[in-house]
Amino acid sequence: MGNLRRYSIIGLVGIVALGVVGIVAAATEQWALALAFTYGGLVVTVLLVLLSARYLARRARTDDKKARLRLQELRKLIEAVSREEEAFQTEQRQADQRLRKAMADKERSSQAAMAALQDSSQAAMAALQDNVQELHQENVALREELQKNSRSTSRHVTTTVRDSTRQIESLAQIYSRFSATKLPMPSTGGFAIDAQALAHLISLAEERKPRRILELGSGTSTIWLGYLCREFGGSLVTLDHLEKYLAATQTAVDRHNLNHQVEGRLAPLQKINCDGASFNWYALEALNDLSDIDMLVVDGPPAATGPQARYPSLPMLIDRLATNATVVLDDAHRRDELKIVEEWEASFPEFTRIENGTSRLAVLERKA
């Protein structure tokens, strides 16, 4: 643009100069010179026009090229902006989708949480109701148990008082009958024979006055029977399966001077077969010399040695019993002993149970 302006000024100056010179030449009537300067001015003018046209054409091409380049750049820019706008829109759509999905997930999560909370609340309420019901049932059961225990305790106390009264009365009757006994006498109750059964046994011995008594299981009754044997001239053989218990009984026998009436024998328990069953019972060697037994007192073996531990007593000794023998079984209030008595009566019909309920003794009498 600067070159065109410069060439245009030079051309115009040249044209003006040529025109002025031509005019001066014409004025001086130098027509050839005026014509030459006029023609030169035209030539310069034409050259200037051509040069300007060429310059303008070149400038136009340059501007057109620049315009096309700018247009291309603009298109590229527009395309880039379009791509960015499209990417932005795509990202915005994706963001909207993610937001909607997140909101949907959150809503589902909230609904699930609410459902879980409702289920948990319902389960907690159900568990609470179950616990309340269970506590109520336990309370009812506890109240019933307390009432049952109260009744049981009341019955136990009443039974204990009555039993204690009977035991005291029996001991009073026994000691009033035997005023010459040497004190102290062995204790009654517990594992030993109780006072009521002892009074019953003493009464049986006084009535029947047996000449020979066999006692299975030594203890308190041994001493009292020893005193009775001294009174009516009888004798007593007592067996025990444990040496320490036999020694304790022997000590009491010695203290009461009953050695002439009472003989203690050790008879360990052995396996025997009786009526098709196996039992732990006294060693038969301890009984070899015994016969014509008028009274058999069965107070052993202990129940802990086996079921119906005392059953063999009658089957194993029946051939050694006297014609009118009396068999006395202690602890007949227990299930095993009751069953033993029933089986004895069924197997040995010559024996009949008498004085049922007088004490815890079962008394069977043999009829000739």
Pick 260 or 59 by higher pLDDT.
260
Give the Cβ contact number of residue 180 at 10 Å.
Answer: 7
Mean pLDDT along residues 44-69: 72
Give the Cβ contact number of residue 158 at 10 Å.
Answer: 10
> Which of 10-14, 115-119, 278-282: highest mean pLDDT?
278-282
> What's the pLDDT tens digit per position in 19-41?
666 666 666 766 666 666 666 66
| Bridge partner residues of 213 (DSSP) | 236, 295
> What's the pLDDT tens digit per position in 98-127?
878 877 777 777 677 677 767 776 776 777
Indicate whether 189 pLDDT > 60. Answer: no
> What's the pLDDT tens digit per position in 193-211?
778 888 899 899 999 999 9
Residue 157: what pLDDT?
Answer: 44
Least-confidence region, from 44-53, 222-231, 267-276, 323-332: 44-53
> Which of 28-37, 66-75, 251-260: highest mean pLDDT?
251-260
Least-confidence region, from 159-163, 329-333, 350-354: 159-163
Q: Which H or E run contains 228?
A: helix 220-232
Indicate whether 337 pLDDT > 80. Answer: yes
Pick 295 or 300 by higher pLDDT.
295
Mean pLDDT along residues 231-250: 94
> What's the pLDDT tens digit per position in 296-336?
999 989 989 999 999 999 999 999 999 999 999 998 889 99
Share of the chain above pLDDT 70, in %: 71
> Which of 160-174, 259-273, 345-359: highest mean pLDDT?
259-273
Residues 58, 79: Cα–Cα separation, whole Å? 30
Least-confidence region, from 143-157, 203-217, 306-320, 342-356: 143-157
Residue 201 burial class via C-beta count within 10 angstroms: exposed 0-12, middle 13-18, buried 19 and up: buried
Grade residue 140 by pLDDT with cuts at 50, 70 and 90. confident
The pTM assigned to this predicted structure is 0.57
Q: What single letter denotes the amino acid at residue 108?
A: R
DSSP-derived letter for residue 180 is: T
As given in the structure block, the two tokens for residue 56 are 């303008």
The residue extents of the domains of the chain are: 1-139, 182-366
Residue 225: what pLDDT?
Answer: 94
Residue 161: what pLDDT?
Answer: 43
| Bridge partner residues of 236 (DSSP) | 213, 262
Residues 62, 67: Cα–Cα separation, whole Å? 8
For the domain 182-366, what is the CATH code? Answer: 3.40.50.150
